[in-house]
Amino acid sequence: MNTSASAKGSSSPFDFFDFDFDFLAPQPTQDADLLGQLSFIPGLKEILMLRQVHALEHATVWVLSASNNVQVPTRTPRPSHFQVDNELLGGLSTERGFYLYGEVNVSDMRRAVTLAQHRLTNGEWDLAVHPRCGTNMSVAMLLTAGLAVGIHLVLPRGPIEQLIGLGLAATTAAELAPDIGALAQRYLTTSIPFNLEIENIIRTRDLWGRQAYFVQVQWRE
């Protein structure tokens, strides 16, 4: 995820994507049970950990943004107030923990991680979703490609028609991507960190030499 201070309105012309999947509400033992039943699948534990770490990363960015007088999303899917997040903060998740980029005091960092996990595991599941997550970009690219191919097959092959079709595909994808991306985050790329235990928070450098905090976690049943 990559995060300058920007505001995002709460309304969308595509509100019909905001379904309420109550039957998919997070359960404290869901990942542990899944791992117990399918432990023979290579890499399953790492995938489950990565999804939980991803949610914790997003929630930590929200909490840190709030500590700088920036509003955090409420549990309501479409809050009535404007949401503002701190673009100077960003993160990168791995199955061992996550990197947090930005100028943050170490004590604030420790408090934010602990509070983020507490809030996530106590019902504030919307904190797991972030509008600047790379998932949204991936969804936008896939939508653009899919719509472009579909329109290419449907419209006449003339260059003007194809150019108009490409513009239409890009515009439609840009409108749909935030809502579909949020759904993808909520149900595919993140999971509530019921099974994560925070081991350590250190100041380090990532693989590209950039300074960051690394929040190291381990799995707990």
> Residue 31 is which amino acid?
D
Domain edges within the chain: 26-129+190-221, 131-189
The two tokens of residue 87 are: 């673009």
Q: Structure tokens of 72?
A: 């955090």
* C-alpha span between 83 and 5 (Å, rounded): 10
Residues 128 and 135: their CA atoms lie apart, in Å, by: 12
pLDDT (tens digit per residue) in 173-195:
999 999 999 999 999 999 999 99
Q: Give the integer Cα–Cα distance in Å for 9 and 32.
A: 37
Q: Could you give the CA distance from residue 31 to residue 221 in angstroms, rounded to a whole number?
A: 9
Q: Rounded to an integer, what distance in angstroms lies between the CA atom of residue 154 and that of residue 69?
A: 50
Q: What is the pLDDT of residues 67-110, one digit of tens each?
A: 864 444 544 444 434 455 788 999 999 999 999 999 999 999 99
